[in-house]
Structure 1
Amino acid sequence: MSLLPDVTPAEHELPDIISVDDHVLEPKDLWQRELPASMRERGPRTVREKVKLTFTGGHYGFERNADDGQWCDVWLFDDLAVPTGFLHAPAGTPRSQQRNVPAVYEDFRPGTYDQAARLADMDTNHVSAAINYPNIFPRFAGQGFAERPDKDLAVTSLRIYNDWMIDEWCGGAGQGRLIPLTLVPLWDPQLAADEVRRCAAKGSHAIAFSENPSKLGFPSLYSGEWDVLWTACEETETTVSMHIGSSSSMPTTSPDAPLATSMSLYAQNAQGSLADWVFSGTLGRFDSLKIAFAESQVGWMPFQLERMDSVWRDGVGGVDLPIAPSEQVRGRVFGCVFDDLHGLKCRADVGVEQILFETDYPHSDGTFPHSRKVARDLFAAAGMDEQACYAVLRGNAIAAYGLERFGITE
């Protein structure tokens, strides 16, 4: 039995959450109403078909127009076909009832795609503000646009998504509660920089980027080709956000390893990404740039930085950095938690001011509608006081994303 006083506020005394990693289902009619007529036939749209989903060899697959399938909203985009699965957005369904089965939008909570319903779900879950990543065919960094062969169609469709995100999803009643996160054309760094400036002028100061663009067939951070983008981000005070899986790959050990192996190793992508940001010299060249890793947890950060500092001091790694990696990262690189007790216990080593919180609504590992209880249980187990709880639930997110611009000051 612990003799230490319970320094953690009671659940009802915790401040409302700012979630830095939620998701939204893309509107089914968006591109058909916004694309030029000449592009609509190949632009993003849905068809309703009977589909059968599979999972073999560590990979998801599907069969269209299957006689024994279930009704499914299938996204079509030029040469792409992506089925909507129930695991895309099972929020509100008990974990034991969540299955990898085809779905239509009506199978989901309205809050997954309807703004008014989302705001109501946020109220229920004690979430005052949230950043939303894409969910189905765009994927977490807009790879769905980058992979299309017709780049005119791709960039036009991407800009339509960004305008919808800023003007519609985050506009009206959502203003100040739904915080814009926009996409960039990953296939062209200059186009990406132009889109950052265009979106910043409209009110978006956060972009989704890939944790490892090299794995997508694009230039690495070591190439220097992304510097035009980071210049635009610094000029517009735009934060760079990277979701796990945004390199369209997840860590594994062998072709026959089960999904559990990959799921238990997922933070490795963020570890590699942080090494790239530091050892490419990018963080050093752009010393006011802020970056954030979504769904990465933070318990890995102290060892990773310790090891990077050791390599840097020994001077054997082929890099010449004027400042230690841990010094570059302090106050500028953020990670977020939703079940990382170890990370919270070693928060002083991570830097408590660099830890953010997420609910991951409406995903299967999200904590809706019990996010505040989940947070309180974690915070109490880690022995966090009122000040640390506030920092992780709200204060750090305000600093990481400059949320004062949206009227969020405390």
Structure 2
Amino acid sequence: MNHLVISADSHAGADLLDYRPYLESRLHDEFDAWAKGYVNPFADLQAPEAARNWDSDRRLRELEEDGIVAEVLFPNTVPPFFPSANLTAPHPTAQEYALRWAGLRAHNRWMADFCALAPGRRAGVAQIMLNDVDDAVEEIQWAHEAGLTGGILVPGVAPGRGPDIPPLHSDVYDPIWRTCAELGMPVNHHGGAGAPGLEPTPVSLAVFIVEVSWYAHRALWHLIFGGVFERHPDLRFVLTEQGCDWIPGVLKTLDYYFSRFTSGDATAEAKFGGPAAAKLSLTPSEYFARNCHVGATFMKPSETPLRYEIGVERLMWGSDFPHDEGTFPYSREALRRTFHGVPPEEKHAVLAGNAARVYGFDLDALRPHADRVGPSRQELDQPLTELPEGATSPVFSPETIIRAW
């Protein structure tokens, strides 16, 4: 029997002008003027390969060649009225909000139609903004009714953003968490979110790459100490494309601080964190085990031994298709490199079972596709002895990253 492989981290979006029909007609003239002058900053979205984002037949064909039968779809292309893709775009000002919100809603509606072209094989993720909580809640409800089983993508909040966009630990966002918990909609937080503005200078770009994952990690302790998981025990929170080797150390650090916060007024930590920790009934690592999952995109061999500390039932593999750092067209080789020594039941959990549980995929319905195109058990049991020439994914790097956070 072949392995059933689901990518818990893929990306898709419409070609720029194809968003137009999804905008209200009153915005068409404004969109036409904006699109005419827009210069796309991403080379990969101007290349012929960009069609992988929106060409459904091509996408299915190439993913099947790579051994993948289903995927969770995060955004990739630039929505209407945005300066760049939403993952790294700053929160809009009050003056920018109306147009950008219309642009995100257009993307969400395109995404619902795109998922409908491959029933049961795509879990689309809806985008929201934090400027207007009522608007966000209404869009979450729409996304649930539209069948976007990927849940929502919650933006990060960069340090010093100001009072107009409070940090994620603010209880002003409780209607968002409550709605997602009640509807069973996963809340996704993707790498790239929450970082300060990106300046296109050589040093800024280098520093951005080093720091970008850490800014996304911050959402974990914001939600823990903000009491979000305490108030909403059924909320599912997914940290995607941020690596996973940082998690054991961070959980130990958070548990340490929690113990100091609750040790009494004599410690300096208790004076700062005691009031927040007093409202929590579990330790940070216990909240993580109950509420959190990890989109462990292109897991590296150095991360595999950490699966028991993180929780095998928490981890979900992703290909990051169609990005340069993704594993396509060498996903089979990537899976061999990382999972060749992992027991079959654990492989199944990380490659399919956990994603099915979090995002609602029907494994029985996907089984015929896996039997047709999935990698065999014998194939994934074979160590990878030679790295594929031209592969650019970090999973094929001979170096092992050791994170301090």
What is the TM-score normalised by the length of structure 1?
0.76
Matched, 1:392 2:354: no
Farther off after superposition, 146-155 or 112-121 = 146-155
- Is the CA contact 2:8–2:317 (under 8 Å) kept in the aligned structure 1? yes
The alpha-carbon deviation at position 351 of structure 1 amounts to 0.7
What one-letter code is carried by the residue in structure 2 that aligns with 1:305? L
Residue aligning to 1:322? 281
The alpha-carbon deviation at position 129 of structure 1 amounts to 0.8
Residue aligning to 1:5? none
**Among 283, 291, 304, the residue aligned to 2:237:** 291
Mark the CA change 1:388 to 1:163 in structure 2 (over 3 Å): closer, same or farther: same
Residue aligning to 2:73? 132
Residue aligning to 1:274? 220
The alpha-carbon deviation at position 277 of structure 1 amounts to 1.2
Structure 1: unaligned runs, 5 residues or longer: 1-12, 49-75, 89-102
Residue aligning to 2:128? 184
**Among 91, 104, 111, the residue aligned to 2:52:** 111
Greater fraction helix: 2
User: Could you give the per-residue CA deviations for residues 228-260 of structure 1, whole angstroms, max 9, x where no partner exists?
Assistant: 0111101110001111112254899xx874644
Mark the CA change 1:298 to 1:150 in structure 2 (over 3 Å): closer, same or farther: closer
Name the % identity: 24
> RMSD value over aligned CA atoms?
2.9
Mark the CA change 1:189 to 1:405 in structure 2 (over 3 Å): closer, same or farther: farther
- Is the CA contact 1:242–1:292 (under 8 Å) kept in the aligned structure 2? yes
- Is the CA contact 1:208–1:241 (under 8 Å) kept in the aligned structure 2? yes
User: Could you give the per-residue CA deviations for residues 190-246 of structure 1, whole angstroms, max 9, x where no partner exists?
Assistant: 211111111111212311112336665512123201100111101110001111112
Mark the CA change 1:395 to 1:311 in structure 2 (over 3 Å): closer, same or farther: same
- Is the CA contact 1:239–1:292 (under 8 Å) kept in the aligned structure 2? yes
Q: How does 1:22-101 map to 2 (within 5 A)?
A: 22-43=10-31, 81-88=38-45
**Among 339, 342, 362, the residue aligned to 2:302:** 342
Matched, 1:247 2:194: yes
Residue aligning to 1:99? none
The alpha-carbon deviation at position 32 of structure 1 amounts to 2.5
Farther off after superposition, 340-349 or 151-160 = 151-160
**Among 180, 196, 213, the residue aligned to 1:233:** 180
Structure 2: unaligned runs, 5 residues or longer: 80-84, 262-268, 371-405
Matched, 1:171 2:116: yes
- Is the CA contact 1:251–1:265 (under 8 Å) kept in the aligned structure 2? no
Residue aligning to 2:264? none
The alpha-carbon deviation at position 140 of structure 1 amounts to 4.2
Partners of 1:33 and 1:406 in 2: CA distance? 35
Farther off after superposition, 311-320 or 225-234 = 311-320
Partners of 2:312 and 2:233 in 1: CA distance? 20
Partners of 1:151 and 1:263 in 2: CA distance? 28
- Is the CA contact 2:12–2:74 (under 8 Å) kept in the aligned structure 1? yes
Mark the CA change 1:136 to 1:148 in structure 2 (over 3 Å): closer, same or farther: farther
- Is the CA contact 2:191–2:241 (under 8 Å) kept in the aligned structure 1? yes
* Counterpart secondary structure, 2:302: helix
**Among 321, 332, 357, the residue aligned to 1:372:** 332
- Is the CA contact 2:121–2:361 (under 8 Å) kept in the aligned structure 1? no
Matched, 1:224 2:171: yes
- Is the CA contact 1:356–1:397 (under 8 Å) kept in the aligned structure 2? yes
Matched, 1:200 2:200: no
User: Could you give the per-residue CA deviations for residues 375-409 of structure 1, whole angstroms, max 9, x where no partner exists?
Assistant: 111112xx311111111111111122233499569
Partners of 1:233 and 1:376 in 2: CA distance? 36
User: Could you give the per-residue CA deviations for residues 40-71 of structure 1, whole angstroms, max 9, x where no partner exists?
Assistant: 122278757xxxxxxxxxxxxxxxxxxxxxxx
Mark the CA change 1:192 to 1:179 in structure 2 (over 3 Å): closer, same or farther: same
- Is the CA contact 1:250–1:262 (under 8 Å) kept in the aligned structure 2? no
* Counterpart secondary structure, 2:102: helix
Mark the CA change 1:160 to 1:85 in structure 2 (over 3 Å): closer, same or farther: closer
The alpha-carbon deviation at position 158 of structure 1 amounts to 2.5
Mark the CA change 1:273 to 1:208 in structure 2 (over 3 Å): closer, same or farther: same
What one-letter code is carried by the residue in structure 2 that aligns with 1:401? Y
What one-letter code is carried by the residue in structure 1 that aligns with 2:176? L
* Counterpart secondary structure, 2:10: strand
- Is the CA contact 2:129–2:154 (under 8 Å) kept in the aligned structure 1? no
Partners of 1:259 and 1:290 in 2: CA distance? 32
